[in-house]
A and B are shown apart, each in its own frame.
Chain A
């Protein structure tokens, strides 16, 4: 009897240790499932806490951001909901749902900002950044450069269509340089500028990074800004932003969430 009791106790301790160990080393999927249960049960604050825990571990997915956005939408924190739907829209698997959710949330904001159309150059840069990416562009540029130089060299040793080879080589090399410059510019734009979403109800955008500075405009929840990261570095706690209506100003960092 005594041996049996000790065996049971040892087994229990082993199970307990294993469960504690597994708790500490819980996989992202397990935490995600647990958060989904909370979301389904309407315990939005607990679900948000679990999702944010995953986000802080730098393990992310489109589904995580989409569900986080839904949680914030349910608790009526629409600015934060928009922020996470924008993040989810950057993942292929959640792109369509995130766009639907964004359309819905945009319609819920009490104030809508006037939107100045983007310049064609900015549209092109955004398209390249979001659809191809700076690294892929650079790779394409390198391949084109090699191809162009190869065609150029062939002309020296082969007498077939010398003009075609000559101008073809020039054209491909030139194109390669343009693509590579485009890649570097795209990366520069990505590093310098970020998109941010206003998450507080109302905040003034001011001319200088001081609370009592003169007012540029009022910003409301859900407004989207372009943050100039380089310029903002000089004033910690403040962000230099371009509003969607084309106005520039400073806004406290804790009032916005930067993508």
Chain B
């Protein structure tokens, strides 16, 4: 057992050591290859140097494989080489430079294609370089501009970016031959309103190259480089960049690089230079219809992971979302995840790691959601579609983040939950429950509401009518007589029949007459007594009563008046007259 233990220890140590060296080797294997030219604008027949610089930590490097040049001719296949070695902060770095001489043949704009080079068995490639060849004679005729001997210019990579797009802004110094620039000092306070500004790695000493502007040869040196990210759309102005430059007049030299940052001289003076303001027209981002837009513009890789995937109740679980790439890394926002129930979600953490090398901002932004499960179970965070805008393709790129699953087991040592539940004052109800189905009814849809409102109103109406009628009956005598006339007449007719049955025929006819005249006088508001039969008939005629009715009334009244002189009259005879009187009164009731 002891021997085996020692063996494993020794093996573990060796493996660890090997891993350490491997890691170190991997960590130091960063190599950069860069091509540059001494001048980007030259006259026909003029020489230009093409340099290929390999920097970093490497062992074997092949000679560059030169491409075919258009408009330029290679003077010699054998390059001049230079090598430098540095050891800074325990980090060693080697720089190897091959320099070739080319001669411009024809006027025009050309591109020096990428140069291939093999370093430690890996193929590397430089970026293509644009170069412009000008005809010396034509240039001499067209030159007439009044540009100063030394000036600053702000050069931006794109004047029509979209919101959030990275644009590279170079502060470039132009100066004529015969001037020596010894140093420069930026004036603080430069603002780029409407932009998120990041300074790029400006550690390298500025290199001067030759160029021709309006037929005049200038030397060009990039002093500083910034990344700008427009934060809003529309026309945005980048304010002038100011710098104090120490310059002196000097003799011309054959080596174009020797005069930049040359030694101090007698004619030295300090001048403050400033660039012209630059206007950038920022375009809006197109509408995004797929996935949650994270505010990222550039080229990105987005991923997420959960750890640990097996946890216990109360243990913290991290959901880490990583956005890695080139672009506005600092402005990327966290995707919103739908967390399952039962998780205690804490304030998310975020961190950015920016890389300012290679003339651009790249890096990683990490968002960490911290959750704690309060009960055991299998938890799932659903998949999520997220998108970023790629300005080179001018479209949104959507990435689907897969669903995350993690398993949470009960913590056997936990006592918090138990104590919490024990102090909780209520126990679950486990018996029979009363079940209801909640319904929502409109208050105005109840039938009893309308019945309850209508019934008292109808009752009120009827009662009011009855009240008015009673009052009129008691106060208006004519109305009361008129209302009672019919009943009184019927009463008298019945009395007449009774008298007839008792054998008092004459009294019965007298009662019949009273019934008729009483009805007419009550209805027409005439005096109750003292009028002749003719006056009653005349009153009826005045009221345009139907002739037959008037005739019947007249006939009945005449019969009643003449009955005293008539021979014996039977009960049946009277009854027929009473019947006629009843029908006549019914008809009269309708018309008077």
Contact = CB atoms under 8 A, between A and B. Distances in A.
A224 interface: no
A76 B441 CA distance: 36
Interface string B406-437: 00001000000100110111101111111111
Contacts of A39: 428
Contacts of A73: 424
A63 interface: yes
Among B347, B425, B434, B438, the most chain A Cβ lie within 10 Å of the Cβ of: B434
Interface in A53-94: 58-64, 66-67, 70, 73-77, 80, 93-94
A224 to B, nearest CB: 20
B452 interface: yes
Nearest to B378: A45
Closest 5 CB pairs between A and B? Answer: A142-B452, A76-B374, A149-B456, A63-B429, A63-B433
B456 A44 contact: no
Given A61-B435, A142-B448, A157 B467 contact: yes
Contact of B377 (A32, A36, A45, A58): A45
Contacts of B430: 33, 36, 40
A101 B424 contact: yes
Given A29-B432, A58-B438, A48 B456 contact: no
Interface residues of A, number: 57
Nearest to A144: B452
A97 interface: yes
A58 B435 CA distance: 10
Given A36-B428, A39-B428, A75-B374, A61 B436 contact: yes
23 contacts: A29-B432, A42-B410, A48-B341, A61-B434, A63-B434, A70-B426, A70-B428, A74-B420, A75-B342, A75-B375, A76-B374, A77-B341, A98-B426, A100-B426, A104-B425, A104-B426, A135-B441, A138-B443, A148-B456, A149-B456, A149-B459, A201-B344, A201-B346
A33 B430 CA distance: 7
Nearest to B342: A75
A101 B434 contact: no
Interface in B313-365: 341-342, 344-347
Interface string B541-563: 00000000000000000000000
Contacts of B420: 74
A39 to B, nearest CB: 6
Interface string A134-167: 1100110011011011101100110000000000
Nearest to B434: A61
A148 B437 CA distance: 36
A94 B429 contact: yes
Contact of B428 (A66, A152, A183): A66
Interface residues on B, range: 35 or more
Given A61-B435, A64-B433, A75-B341, A138 B449 contact: yes
A164 B110 CA distance: 114
Nearest to A105: B424
A156 B463 contact: yes
A145 B375 contact: no
B10 interface: no
Contacts of B410: 42
Contacts, number: 130
A148 B460 CA distance: 11
Nearest to B346: A201
A97 B456 contact: no
Interface in A163-189: 183-184, 187
A133 B501 CA distance: 73
A145 B452 contact: yes
B423 to A, nearest CB: 8
Contacts of A43: 377
A28 interface: yes
B433 A61 contact: yes
B455 interface: yes
Contact of A145 (B347, B377, B456): B456
Contact of B452 (A29, A146, A156, A202): A146
A152 B461 CA distance: 12
Given A42-B410, A75-B342, A101-B424, A145 B459 contact: no
B446 interface: yes
Contacts of A200: 345
A86 to B, nearest CB: 14
A143 B452 contact: yes
B453 interface: yes
Nearest to B462: A153
Contact of A45 (B342, B425, B452): B342
Contacts of B455: 146
Interface in B379-425: 410, 417, 420-421, 423-425
Given A45-B377, A142-B449, 16 more contacts: A42-B375, A61-B436, A66-B428, A67-B429, A74-B374, A75-B374, A97-B429, A134-B443, A145-B452, A146-B455, A149-B457, A150-B456, A152-B460, A153-B463, A200-B345, A201-B346
Contact of A29 (B425, B435, B448): B435
A70 B376 CA distance: 16
Among B375, B421, B466, the most chain A Cβ lie within 10 Å of the Cβ of: B375
B382 to A, nearest CB: 14
Interface string A34-51: 001001101111001000
B154 to A, nearest CB: 32
A128 to B, nearest CB: 13
Contacts of A139: 448
Contacts of B441: 135
Interface in A188-206: 200-202
A202 B346 CA distance: 10
Among B410, B432, B443, the most chain A Cβ lie within 10 Å of the Cβ of: B443
Nearest to A153: B463
Interface in B458-480: 459-460, 463-464, 466-467
Contact of B436 (A48, A60, A66, A100): A60
Given A100-B426, A142-B452, A187-B443, A153 B459 contact: yes
Contacts of A148: 456
Contact of B375 (A45, A66, A156): A45
Nearest to A64: B433
Contacts of B344: 76, 201
A148 B453 CA distance: 12
B453 A145 contact: yes
Contact of B434 (A62, A66, A70, A145): A62
Contacts of B374: 74-77
A70 B459 contact: no
A153 B458 CA distance: 12
A73 B434 CA distance: 23
B317 to A, nearest CB: 14
Contacts of B467: 156-157
Contacts of B377: 43-45
Contacts of A62: 429, 433-434
A29 B435 CA distance: 8
A255 to B, nearest CB: 12
Contacts of B342: 44-45, 75-77
Contacts of A94: 429
B446 A101 contact: no
